Amino acid sequence: MAKVTGLSGNEIFCLALKNYSAGEIVVGNSVNSMGFLGGIGAGLKNMLGGEITQVTAAIHEGRANAFERMSKEAMQQGASGVAGVSSELRSFSGSTEFLFVGSCIHSRALSGRFFTTAGDAQELYCHMDAGYMPIQHAFGNIAYSMGVGRGIVGSLKTLVRGEIAEYSNIFNTTRHKALERLVAQAKADGANAVVGIRTSILPWMGTHEMLMAGTASRHSALPAGADGNPVTSDLTGEELWAMTSLGYAPVKLLMSTSIYSLGVVGGVMAAFKSFAKGEISDLTTLIHDAREIAIERLKNEADALGAEEVVGVKTYIAEIGNGLVEFMAIGTAVKKMPGFSVQTAALPAQAVSRDKDTWIDGGFGISLDRDRGANS
């Protein structure tokens, strides 16, 4: 009987190079009633902000149940592992479906430990070739209030522009809790590294959830200390392979978040519409300075860790209302370590050629022929 797999031709080719073959799509879900959480939202307006533990726990439990069912289905099919594991939340009139989807893969060599990976099979190839052997898809999450300052928003109008340290501390703590939980899960699974970490922030029932997911792995050349504190990286599979080929290993995924008040600038934003077009120099300076401060914090943390570089740094800015904006910088600290090299001299083209979706939405007549990498 024909197999139905979510893996592409390029992914199947990469698997074959590592002595694996493609298997069936597997799905795990859990539909939970979240009605008891409805009253929580009403209290958020009076909160300074931060984690809502009941919501975090409810989402984590739903995800864990769905993931376990997907893994069980794969094991029943005799799979060696599941690649391309992805998760979703879907709302249905007060209830939420937690969904995990992946594709079975089967080893052509001796059977080993069953594993799951957050990366697709192309990324899996890169990880394995760089010496990172997958153990399990791992995730850490946190649900939090975006109502920062709602109860005292009136006072913000009198603030001068610049960073609001109290809010920055809240957001930094929130962001790092998700990473800490991801690392704790990886450590419990016996991993000494979490690679291919992807971060998403989505609204959910009046709150926001930050989810960090990656592949808990083991690398034999990492120092013993990584067993107690696994290294973390958000480099893509290709980037991690390239850095490994140069003798570098990840040390830690670094994040820096700052909350800024636009102050007087924010108070006159509405008036800008009547101004002549041109640069708003005060706002330009503020945003530039905020980015520089976020990057400087990454440098300082990397220095404290003994890292040589912070690579793949990305910066984000988001307006969170009431004259407040969030600046975030994220990247992976790396340093050279002995014993780090790749198994092949060059990646095959099939490992770096991004597959494209070919689905066309007939309802709107819009082609969704987009690079999958842009949607990860």
Q: Would you give the DSSP letter of residue 356?
A: B
CB 344 within 8 A of CB 241: no
**Predicted pLDDT at 148:** 47
**Predicted pLDDT at 279:** 64
**CA 272 to CA 284: how far, in whole Å?**
14
**Predicted pLDDT at 160:** 55
Q: Which two tokens stand for residue 290?
A: 């905020």
**Predicted pLDDT at 300:** 95
**Predicted pLDDT at 45:** 41
Task: Scan for tokens 């859990």, then name that residue.
Answer: 30
Q: Which helix (H) or strand (E) holds 344?
A: none
The values of phi and psi at residue 372, to 5°, are: -60, -30
**CA 309 to CA 332: how far, in whole Å?**
8
- The model's pTM is 0.85
**Predicted pLDDT at 174:** 82
**Predicted pLDDT at 162:** 74
Task: Scan for tokens 């709150």, then name that residue.
Answer: 207
Series of mean pLDDT values for 10-residue runs along the chain (376 residues) = 91 96 96 64 50 86 95 96 91 83 90 89 97 96 68 45 77 88 96 95 78 96 96 97 98 90 55 55 76 89 96 86 80 96 96 78 47 40
**Predicted pLDDT at 373:** 40
Give the residue among 107, 182, 102 at the shortest CA–CA distance from 141.
182
CB 194 within 8 A of CB 232: yes
Q: Which helix (H) or strand (E) holds 210?
A: strand 207-218
Q: Would you give the DSSP letter of residue 299?
A: H
Q: Would you give the DSSP letter of residue 169?
A: H
**Predicted pLDDT at 98:** 92
**Predicted pLDDT at 364:** 47
Q: Which residues contact 197 (CB under 8 A, 6 or more apart)?
A: 182, 212, 213, 214, 232, 233, 234, 253
Cβ-count burial 85-99 (b if 16+ within 10 Å, e if not): bebebeeeeeebebb
**Predicted pLDDT at 185:** 96
CB 243 within 8 A of CB 334: yes
**Predicted pLDDT at 172:** 84
**Predicted pLDDT at 286:** 76
